[in-house]
Amino acid sequence: MKHRRVLRAAVTVAVTGALAAGMTMALTTSASAGTTLRASAAEKGRYFGAAVATGKLSTSAYVTVLNREFNSVVAENEMKWDATEPQQGQFRYTGGDRLVSHAQANGMSVRGHALLWHQQEPGWAQSMSGSALRSAMINHVTQVATHFRGKIHSWDVVNEAFADGGSGGRRDSNLQRTGNDWIEAAFRAARAADPGAKLCYNDYNTDGINAKSTGIYNMVRDFKSRGVPIDCVGFQSHLGTSLAGDYQANLQRFADLGVDVQITELDVMTGGNQANIYGAVTRACMNVSRCTGITVWGVRDCDSWRGSDNALLFDCNGNKKAAYTNVLNALNAGPAIPTDPPTDPPTDPPTDPPTDPPTDPPAVGCSASVSLNSWTGGFVASVKVTAGSAGTSGWNVGFTLPSGASVTNTWSATASGSTGTVRFANVNYNGRLGAGQVTEFGFQGTGSASGVTPTCTAS
Ligand code: XIL
């Protein structure tokens, strides 16, 4: 059945088409039919994104399509390790910052891609191993996620860490050889650096229930059970001429673990099935309420890394292809993500006032607790500071580190000293806390910090 279309401004807010048009229209399953990918996705509570090469942001034909159709972007290369830390400890954010500004000026969210990946490592990291590499990679995660803090919707914290083929295990790489816990160490460091970003694991050849996707599924289940901070799984979906029949079922089994799922790098081999496959992938996402968005890996066929595959939604002149129409129709026909929180207030207010005093009456001053993520030769400490009953206008947390341990890097606090007794003072935005309010900071170090206990002083 054909939906009637209502022509509207490209940038559409969540107003129903019927209202906006002020006329009667034949409604089918959806309240309205958007006329761009971004409007249609937004009406369903989702984003529709594209990978962007920032060099093309000065090409007007490219930008016209990008701004009209997409409300999310990801850097095709500019936020990768080789681009952001070309020399160890020297960070370069020009390309990434440019993309973020473009996104902010055009109502787009940003996916961050990718903090750690065995490809596109800078040369200096390629030649590292062991605890030196472990420190360098965690430092990279911390620095880059801190730089973009508050600006990233979802980060691909780790990209492509699982092996192809039937093993269902990890891929060998210098990152993997630092210890099997490298992925969780990266997620913990990313959470500490940017608590507002959703943290994703991203991979390819995971487009159905297979040994590789099951290996990842088991890792995500383990992370959720142990409280390792993971929020989403990205399915790259670089596709050929057919789509696995259980593509949607695979997304759903991950969603059932309590993570969001996202289609992160969609492109499809040209040929008779291309438009159908694009439609089917979009429908699968729409049918999974935790599938929060789709990103295609480029704008026009000629922008694609897949050369002559003509794998995208627009031809080289920016014209919409049949695949585009199928995607748009699937977005318009699909259900919206259920909105939360529930709109109704709880029906039964508690009848009795609580009889027990709070078990931990907040101390005057402040208290601090630490959680350590350690590996051989290094650690990341995440510290929680809780204000006492009088609140704080500033705080200072001290640790006495065991000999051999040394702080190499701190975020959301200012360190004095790096060995022995080390003190961390608030920075300007997190010193003032109301009674019972909590803030977090972190630091990274070499050696072992096991057994350390913090002391907190408020001012
Ligand atoms: C690709 C880019 O599109 C190319 O420009 C670059 O030369 C290589 O990387 N999986 C990923 C992406 O996670 O980062 C890759 O992007 C494509 C495969």
pLDDT, tens digit only, all 459 positions of the chain: 334 343 333 333 333 333 333 333 333 444 568 999 999 999 999 999 999 999 999 999 999 999 999 999 999 999 999 999 999 999 999 999 999 999 999 999 999 999 999 999 999 999 999 999 999 999 999 999 999 999 999 999 999 999 999 999 999 999 999 999 999 999 999 999 999 999 999 999 999 999 999 999 999 999 999 999 999 999 999 999 999 999 999 999 999 999 999 999 999 999 879 999 999 999 999 999 999 999 999 999 999 999 999 999 999 999 999 999 999 999 999 999 887 655 555 455 455 555 555 545 556 799 999 988 777 788 888 889 999 988 999 999 999 999 999 998 777 789 999 999 999 999 877 788 888 888 888 888 889 999 999 999 999
pLDDT of residue 379: 81
Alpha carbons 185 and 179: distance in angstroms, whole number: 10
Q: Determine the pLDDT at residue 360.
A: 56
Which atom of ligand 1 approaches the CA of 264 most closely?
A: 13
Hey, which of 121, 265, 304, 312 would you mutate to test ligand 1's pocket, going by the most ligand atoms within 8 Å of its Cβ?
Answer: 265
184 included as an active-site residue: no
Q: Given this model, what pLDDT does residue 4 score?
A: 39
Q: Is 457 in the pocket of ligand 1 (CB under 6 A)?
A: no
Whole-angstrom Cα distance, residue 389 to residue 362?
6
* Closest protein CA for atom 5 of ligand 1: 305
Q: From residue 272, how far is each of 55, 139, 237, 240, 276 by CA, in Å?
A: 32, 47, 18, 11, 8
Closest listed residue to residue 117, CA positions, set 23, 198, 12, 236: 236
C-alpha count within 13 angstroms, C-beta hemisphere, residue 77: 14
What pLDDT does 43 receive?
A: 95
The pLDDT assigned to 380 comes to 81
pLDDT at 21: 36
**Helix or strand run (H / E) with residue 146:** helix 130-147
State residue 9's pLDDT score: 35
159 CB under 6 A from ligand 1?
yes
H or E stretch covering 200: strand 198-203
Q: Which residue's structure tokens are 């034949």?
A: 26
For a ligand 1 pocket test, name from 77, 162, 309 the mutation site with the most ligand atoms within 8 angstroms of its C-beta: 77
Which pTM was predicted?
0.73
Sign of the torsion formed by the C-alpha atoms of 304, 125, 97 and 193: positive
| Among 78, 85, 184, 265, the one annotated catalytic | 265
C-alpha 36, offset from chain centre:
24
Give me the amino acid identity at 377: G
For residue 120, how far is its CA from the centre of ligand 1 (angstroms)?
Answer: 9
CA of 80 to the centre of ligand 1 (A): 10
> Cα–Cα distance between 195 and 189 in angstroms, integer?
10
Let me know if 43 is a catalytic residue.
no
Spacing, Cα 77 to ligand 1 middle (Å)? 7
Q: Identify the sign of the CA torsion 117, 123, 128, 134.
A: negative
**CA-CA distance, 275 to 323, in Å (whole number)?**
4
Residue nearest atom 13 in ligand 1 by C-alpha distance: 159
DSSP 15-77: --HHHHHTS-----SSS---SSHHHHHHHTT-EEEEEE-GGGGG-HHHHHHHHHH-SEEEESS
- Ligand 1 atom closest to the Cα of residue 202 is 13
Query: Is the backbone peptide bond immediately before 26 cis, with ω within 30 degrees of 0?
Result: no
| Annotated catalytic residue within 76, 160, 184, 440 | 160
Question: According to the model, what pLDDT value does residue 352 have?
Answer: 55
396 lines ligand 1 (CB under 6 A): no
